Amino acid sequence: MTEETFVRVLERRADDVQPRHLGFDDVRAAAHRIRRRRRVAASAAAAAVVAGVLIAPGLVGGGSPRGKDPDPAPPAPSGRTAYLHDGQVTLADGRTVEVDLDDRDVTQFGVLSDGRIVAATSRPQAIQVFSPSGDPVARHQVPINAIKMSADDTLVAWTDEDHRVVVLETGVTEPITFQWGIPMPGEGFGSIDAVYGSDCAHDGCTVLGGDFSTTTTTLSRRAGPGTDLETSEPLQVTDVSPDGDLWAVSFPPADGDQFGCSGIYEVETGQVLARNCDTSGLRFAPDGQHLLGMRGDNGMFGRVEVYDRDLQQLRVYDPEGGRVVKAAAWEDGSHLLVVTAGLDTRPEWSLVRVPIDGGSPQTLVGPVDGPHPEAGTAFLLSD
């Protein structure tokens, strides 16, 4: 789970557990406290924050009958990113699917390449799976309501209550449960930083995990307890290139600094091929040729940047009119989807398509009403 995910969880729960007198300054202060605790004891903070602010109901439901294949996959979408707004998922090809979800309860969601929708929710605290047509398929009780999608959207991973890693693969009805989890001291739950590969049932996929600040472990289903990940220096994996050869990473911040540098790490050689200390959270485009980065605080960002693989900046999208960026993702190899909002008492929200070649941004949806961006979002982009 990334720092942005923790802030997102806090935001949604702060909006829901009020008496409405809980102010944005309170949310901001809480977010800062989480960051301080993460630097001192990342694993303890992770378990304490999620367990402390989220209710854990019992497991509900099961899933499709074992052995029955998921619904046939719909036509391949033109891009990668879907979005959730007002209980409706708009897919990358423009089709829409109604899902029985309250947007405020969803902390993350993704769409597998077979069309199934997977959502991490806070009420109930679970991983929920929906068919391509939006029908409920399964609900899995979890200690941490977070998911990690693979770069090609064929895998989604989470952690179960027994600390084990669980992976649901496209085209496979039931998730695969590893015998092991991310090694952590005491009763702490580790973070899933990346998942990639295929055929998880036969040990074909790999999970990278850590302590929410550093990626420390590589894990496969049949390889026994997690193997220590050896890297040339401490780092956290933020994304994996489509071909798996490169990792986008972040490095620990220096003492007194809030942010560390970001980099491109070559897996085979262990070399850092590029480094940039002005951005965070790097994510590869679907074609692997560019990366987006954002740096902000309290779940808000001032702008979105696009970089080449040498981490040279190519484009900056800075919303006008005092608006902030709430989230951004790749729509395809040449466009971003960016969620923006005002900072008014009743802010307006927009979903904007931004070409990376310097063309003019296009508003796809909005303006629509929504919460203050410190307390929630009107659009949730798929992971």
For the chain of 383 residues, list the mean pLDDT of each consecutive stretch of 10: 49 42 40 38 37 34 42 47 94 92 94 96 95 96 93 94 92 90 78 91 87 90 73 95 94 92 96 97 95 93 97 95 94 95 90 93 94 92 93
- Residue 236 in any domain: the answer is no
- Residue 59 in any domain: the answer is yes
Task: Note whether 137 and 61 are same-domain residues.
Answer: yes
Q: Measured between alpha carbons, how far is residue 221 from residues 5, 26, 141, 207 in Å?
A: 26, 42, 21, 9
Q: Which of 278, 293, 280, 275 is nearest to 330 (CA)?
A: 293
- Residue 27 in any domain: the answer is yes
Contacts 24+ apart (CB under 8 A), 265-272: 265/231, 265/232, 265/235, 265/237, 270/230, 270/231, 270/232, 271/232, 272/232, 272/233
Task: Note whether 164 and 266 are same-domain residues.
Answer: no
Task: Note whether 210 and 248 are same-domain residues.
Answer: no
Exposed, middle or buried, 365 (CB in 10 Å: 0-12/13-18/19+)?
A: middle
Task: Note whether 220 and 105 are same-domain residues.
Answer: yes
Which range of residues forms the domain containing residue 312?
Answer: 242-383
* Cis omega (within 30 of 0) for bond into 371: no
Task: Note whether 91 and 137 are same-domain residues.
Answer: yes
Q: Which of 109, 162, 125, 148 is nearest to 51 (CA)?
A: 125
Res 64: pLDDT: 37
Task: Note whether 221 and 266 are same-domain residues.
Answer: no
Element containing residue 249 per DSSP (H, E):
strand 246-250
Element containing residue 25 per DSSP (H, E):
helix 24-53
Task: Note whether 69 and 180 are same-domain residues.
Answer: yes
Contacts of residue 198, Cβ cutoff 8 Å, sequence gap at least 6: 154, 155, 169, 204, 205
Task: Note whether 200 and 315 are same-domain residues.
Answer: no
Task: Note whether 338 and 209 are same-domain residues.
Answer: no
Q: In the chain, how many domains are there?
A: 2
Residue-by-residue DSSP string for 33-101: HHHHHHHHHHHHHHHHHHHHHS--PPP----SPTTPPPPPPPPPPSSS--EEETTEEEPTTS-EEE-S-
Q: What are phi and psi of 9, to 5 degrees?
A: -60, -45
Q: How many whole angstroms separate alpha carbon 326 and alpha carbon 324?
A: 6
Contacts of residue 41, Cβ cutoff 8 Å, sequence gap at least 6: none
* Cis omega (within 30 of 0) for bond into 143: no
Res 4: pLDDT: 52
Q: pTM of this prediction? A: 0.78
Res 38: pLDDT: 37
Residue finishing a domain among 170, 201, 230: 230
Q: CATH no. for residue 349? A: 2.130.10.10
Using the structure block, give the residue that is written with the tokens 């590589």.
218
Rg for the chain, CA atoms, rounded: 19
Task: State the virtual CA torsion across 303, 379, 383, 212 in degrees, nearest 10.
Answer: 70
Residue finishing a domain among 230, 261, 284: 230
Q: What are phi and psi of 204, to 5 degrees?
A: -95, -5
Q: What are phi and psi of 98, to 5 degrees?
A: -80, 135
Task: Note whether 226 and 247 are same-domain residues.
Answer: no
- Residue 185 in any domain: the answer is yes
- Residue 237 in any domain: the answer is no
| Cβ neighbours of 245 (radius 10 Å) | 12
- Residue 235 in any domain: the answer is no
- Residue 282 in any domain: the answer is yes
Res 70: pLDDT: 56
Task: State the virtual CA torsion across 210, 212, 213, 214 in degrees, nearest 10.
Answer: 10
Q: How many CA atoms lie within 13 A of 350 on its CB side?
A: 17
Q: With contact defined as beta carbons under 8 Å apart, do 269 and 238 qualify?
A: no
> Which amino acid appears at position 381 of this protein?
L
Task: Note whether 216 and 183 are same-domain residues.
Answer: yes
Residue finishing a domain among 196, 230, 264: 230
- Residue 190 in any domain: the answer is yes
Task: Note whether 217 and 250 are same-domain residues.
Answer: no
